[in-house]
Structure 1
Amino acid sequence: MSIASDSPVHPALRVAVIGAGLQGANLARHFSMSTDWDLVAICDTNRSRAEDLARTTGKPAVATSVNELLARHDVDAVAIATPARTHHAIALQAIADGKHVVVEKLLADSTERGRQMMVAAHEAGTILMADHTYCYTPAVLKIRELITAGTLGDILYVDSVRINLGSIRPEEDVFWDLAPHDLSVLDFILPDGLQPLSVSAQGADPLRSGKSCVGYLALPLANGALAHVHVNWLSPTKIRQMVIGGSKKTLVWDDLNPQQRLSIFDRTMESGRREPFLRDPIRRNDGAVSYRLGDTWSPALSEFEPLGLMVSSFAEAIRGKHEAPTEGSSALRVLSVLEAATDSLALGGTKVPVGNTHALSEKTNRTSTLEFAR
C-alpha cells in the first residue's frame, strides 16, 4: 500500500526523470501519480521536449543537463530513460551525489560498466535498480508464485517467443533489443535466477543491415533443463508467448491474450518403469514413457499498471522495506547473457560460458522480508 505524500512519518520521496522520450514519459506519468513520490524535475537536452512532458505531469521543473539538475534540485532519486550507452556516466554521477537510481533497460551497454555501477551504489549505500517492467506484470508475478509454490514441479524447459514486424535499430541487434524482456523474466521466475551454464546464439541478417534481425538463444540450466529464446524483427505477426514445462504441469503465458494470459495444463510425459521389458526386444520400449492427460485451467489475475508497482517498489526499497525486486545484480545477469550471446555469434554459434555474477550479487544484495524475496 502506498504511503500518502503528506504522511509525517514517510513523506514523499523526491525524484527527477532524466530523458523525456517515450519511456521517460511513461516513468514521469507514474511518478507523478504515485503518492510515494514527488516528481521534482524533468531533464532532457531538448528543452522543448522536456517542457512538453512537464506540462502533462504536474509542471515539475525543467533542466537541460544532469549537472544543472543535481546542482539546482534537491532529489532523493533519479530515473534514467536515455540510450543505454549513456546510463553508466549518468548513473555514476547521480550515485556520487548520493542519489538512488532506477535505470530503464538495459542497465548499461556492457557488464563491466554495469558492474562499476553496482559497486559504486554498494559503496555509496544507495539503491540501484533496473526497470524490467515485465517483472511487475500480474501474469509474471503469478508465474513466479506458482513456480515458488511447486505447482509446476521441477522446471524441465522454457520456450519463449518474442517476434513482430519491427524497425531495425541503429545501435543494437535483435538480441539486445528484444531478448532482455525474456531474460529478465527468466531471472525473476526461476528459483535460482538466470544462471545458465552457457549460451549458444544463432542469428541471421537477411536484410543485410549489418546486424542480426532474427535470432535464437539456447541456455542450458544447471538442473538439466533448457531455456530457449526466439526473437525476430521480421515477423508479420506479433507473438509474445512463453511455455514453461514442469514435471507436474505446463504453463503457457500468452501476453497478447487479455482474456486468458495464463493457462495451466495438467498434461505431461513421464518416465515409466522399463525393467520388466528390458529382456524382451519386442516390448523393450513399452515402458519407456507414460502420458498424463488432465484438466486445463486459467488462474485469475489482478489488474494494475506494472510501472505503478515498479515505482512503488523502488520507494519501498529506498525506505528499507524490502530488496529491490529487479536490483542491479539481476540486471547484470541479463547483460552477462547478452554479452555471451554476442561472443557466440562471433564464433558461429559456439557455446560460450556466462560470466559469473553470483559472488557480486551475494555481496550487494540486501536482506528481503517481503513477497519479492527469492
Structure 2
Amino acid sequence: MTDSLRIAVIGAGYWGPNLARNFRASPHWELAAICDLDLDRARRLAGQGHDVKVTDSIRDLLADDDLDAVAIATPAATHHDIAHAALAAGKHVLVEKPLADTGERGQSMVQAAAESSLVLMTDHTYCYTPAVLKMRELIHGGDLGEVLFIDSVRINLGLVQPDVDVFWDLAPHDLSIIDFILPGGLTPITVSAVGADPLNAGKACIGYLTLPLADGAIAHVHVNWLSPTKIRQMIVGGSRRTLVWDDLNPQQRLSVYDRGVDLGLQVLDGADRRSATVSYRLGDTWSPALPETEALGSMVAEFASAIRDKRSARTDGSAGLRVLGILEAASRSLAAGGGAMPLRVEREAMLAGGTARV
C-alpha cells in the first residue's frame, strides 16, 4: 500500500458507503478515515478489523498531513464549505453530484482548486459506465458523424424528494452524460423547462428540458417521478449513424443504427436544405461488446490518475459547473412559465476553471 493515495470519505449516509467500498477495493487508494456527525454510523461503515479512523470533526480530519484527498458525500448545501476547507488544507477533492447548491458557490470551488493546483472532481458516476465510455468513444471518433439531436428519457415511479424538484433530482444524470459524450461539453444556447405538479406536491414531479445546441442541433430531456414503468434511454442521432443506449437492457445496452435521413441537394440556384431531395438510408444495426466493470471503480481510478498525472479529471469541477448552470437556468425557466433562459455562468469562465493543471 506504499504507493497508494490516502483518502477519507466525508458522509456515511446514502452514497458514502458506495464510495468507501470502492476506495477500499481499489489498488490506487487506501481508505484512511470515515467522517460523519453520527459516529455510530461512521463506525459501522469503517467496519471491524480495518485500520480506518473514525471521526465527527472535519477540522481534525483535515489536520492529517498524510491524507491526500477527501470524497464529499454530504448534502449539496454543505459541499462548498467542506470543499474549501479541504482545498485550503492541501487535499484533492471529489464531490458527489451536484457540485454545489448554486452556480456561484460551484464557481468559487472551481477557482479555489485552480489557485491551489489541486484536483477537484465531480462524481458523475454514469460517465464511467462501460456503455457511456463507449458512447463517448464513438462520438469523439466520428462514427456517428455530426450530432443532430439527443433525446433522453429517465422516468420511473420514484420518491418525491422533500428538498428538490424532479429536474434537480433526476436530470443531473442525463445532463452529465450528454456533457461527457459531446466534444467540448454541453453548452446549450438557452435552456427551456416545462414542468407539472399533478400531485400538488409544491414542486415539479414531471419535467421536460429543451436545450438548443450549436449548428441547429438540439437536446431534450424528459424526467418523471410518476411513471409506472421505468425507462432509462438515450438516443443520439448523427448525420452518419444513430446510437441508442438502453440502460435497463443488460444484453444489449448499446445499439448503433446505420439508418437515417439523407438530404441530396438538387442542382438549383441558391440550393439549400429547403430544396433538397429526401432519401432514407437503411443499413445494418450492431451492438458493441462492453466489459463488465463497476462505474465507481473506474471513477475512483480516474481520480487517482488525475492526481498522479497532474491533470484535470475527465469529470472535473467545470463539468459539474456546466450541469449546475443548466439546472439553475431550468429553475428560472420553470418560474417564468417555460421561457428560454440564457446561462448565467460564462463558458469561458468555466473553461478557465477547468484548464488549470496540478
Task: Judge same fold: TM > 0.5, yes or no.
Answer: yes
Contact 2:242 / 2:259 at 8 angstroms: preserved in 1? yes
Deviation for aligned residue 1:366: 4.2
Deviation for aligned residue 1:357: 3.8
* Separation in structure 2 between the aligned mates of residue 107 and residue 365 of structure 1, nearest angstrom: 13
1:359 equivalent to 2:348? Answer yes
1:99 equivalent to 2:97? Answer no
* TM-score, normalised relative to structure 1: 0.91
* 1:303 pairs with one of 279, 292, 295: 292
* Separation in structure 2 between the aligned mates of residue 362 and residue 216 of structure 1, nearest angstrom: 27
Deviation for aligned residue 1:367: 7.8
Which SS does the other structure have where 2:201 is aligned?
coil
Partner of 2:330: 341
- CA offsets per residue over residues 258-311 of structure 1, 9 Å max, x none? 0000001111011133457x9xxxxxx996311011111101111211111111
Partner of 2:244: 252
**Distance change in 2, residues 1:26/1:56 (3 Å):** farther
Aligned residues with identical type, % of pairs: 61
* Separation in structure 1 between the aligned mates of residue 326 and residue 353 of structure 2, nearest angstrom: 20
* Separation in structure 2 between the aligned mates of residue 217 and residue 310 of structure 1, nearest angstrom: 27
Which SS does the other structure have where 1:171 is aligned?
coil
* Separation in structure 1 between the aligned mates of residue 14 and residue 278 of structure 2, nearest angstrom: 51
- Opposite residue 241 of structure 1, the aligned amino acid is Q
Contact 2:119 / 2:312 at 8 angstroms: preserved in 1? no
Partner of 1:318: 307
Deviation for aligned residue 1:362: 3.3
Partner of 1:202: 194
Contact 2:11 / 2:72 at 8 angstroms: preserved in 1? yes
Partner of 1:36: 28
CA RMSD in angstroms, aligned pairs only? 1.9
* Separation in structure 1 between the aligned mates of residue 335 and residue 353 of structure 2, nearest angstrom: 32
Contact 1:332 / 1:357 at 8 angstroms: preserved in 2? no
Which SS does the other structure have where 2:7 is aligned?
strand
1:136 equivalent to 2:128? Answer yes
- Opposite residue 61 of structure 1, the aligned amino acid is K
* Separation in structure 2 between the aligned mates of residue 334 and residue 158 of structure 1, nearest angstrom: 16
Contact 1:29 / 1:57 at 8 angstroms: preserved in 2? no
* Separation in structure 2 between the aligned mates of residue 245 and residue 357 of structure 1, nearest angstrom: 27
Deviation for aligned residue 1:69: 1.6
- Opposite residue 110 of structure 1, the aligned amino acid is T
* Separation in structure 2 between the aligned mates of residue 245 and residue 349 of structure 1, nearest angstrom: 25
Higher relative contact order (CA 8 A, sep 6+): 2
- Opposite residue 355 of structure 1, the aligned amino acid is R
Contact 2:119 / 2:311 at 8 angstroms: preserved in 1? no
Which SS does the other structure have where 1:319 is aligned?
helix
* 1:108 pairs with one of 100, 103, 119: 100
Which SS does the other structure have where 1:22 is aligned?
coil
1:18 equivalent to 2:7? Answer no
Contact 2:23 / 2:300 at 8 angstroms: preserved in 1? yes
Contact 2:103 / 2:345 at 8 angstroms: preserved in 1? no
Partner of 1:214: 206
**Distance change in 2, residues 1:69/1:367 (3 Å):** closer
* Separation in structure 2 between the aligned mates of residue 56 and residue 109 of structure 1, nearest angstrom: 35
1:77 equivalent to 2:69? Answer yes
Partner of 2:277: 288
Contact 2:130 / 2:295 at 8 angstroms: preserved in 1? yes
Structure 1, unaligned stretches of length 5 or more? 279-284, 369-374
Number of residues paired by the alignment? 354
* Separation in structure 2 between the aligned mates of residue 113 and residue 267 of structure 1, nearest angstrom: 44
Partner of 1:153: 145
**Distance change in 2, residues 1:57/1:320 (3 Å):** farther
- CA offsets per residue over residues 142-196 of structure 1, 9 Å max, x none? 0010011110010000000000111111111000010000000111111121100
Q: 4+ runs of 1 displaced by more than 6 Å?
A: none
1:327 equivalent to 2:316? Answer yes
Partner of 2:158: 166
* Separation in structure 1 between the aligned mates of residue 86 and residue 149 of structure 2, nearest angstrom: 40
- CA offsets per residue over residues 324-354 of structure 1, 9 Å max, x none? 0000001100000000000000100000011
Deviation for aligned residue 1:205: 0.6
**Distance change in 2, residues 1:38/1:270 (3 Å):** same
* Separation in structure 2 between the aligned mates of residue 117 and residue 82 of structure 1, nearest angstrom: 16
Contact 1:269 / 1:290 at 8 angstroms: preserved in 2? yes
Deviation for aligned residue 1:33: 0.8
* 1:262 pairs with one of 225, 244, 254: 254
1:234 equivalent to 2:223? Answer no
Deviation for aligned residue 1:58: 3.1
1:193 equivalent to 2:181? Answer no
Deviation for aligned residue 1:363: 2.3
Partner of 1:224: 216
Could you tell which deviates more after superposition, 68-77 or 191-200?
68-77
Q: Map of 1:60-75 to 2, 5 A cutoff?
A: 60-71=52-63, 74-75=66-67
* 2:43 pairs with one of 51, 54, 59: 51
Contact 2:110 / 2:354 at 8 angstroms: preserved in 1? no
Deviation for aligned residue 1:71: 3.2
Contact 1:18 / 1:81 at 8 angstroms: preserved in 2? yes
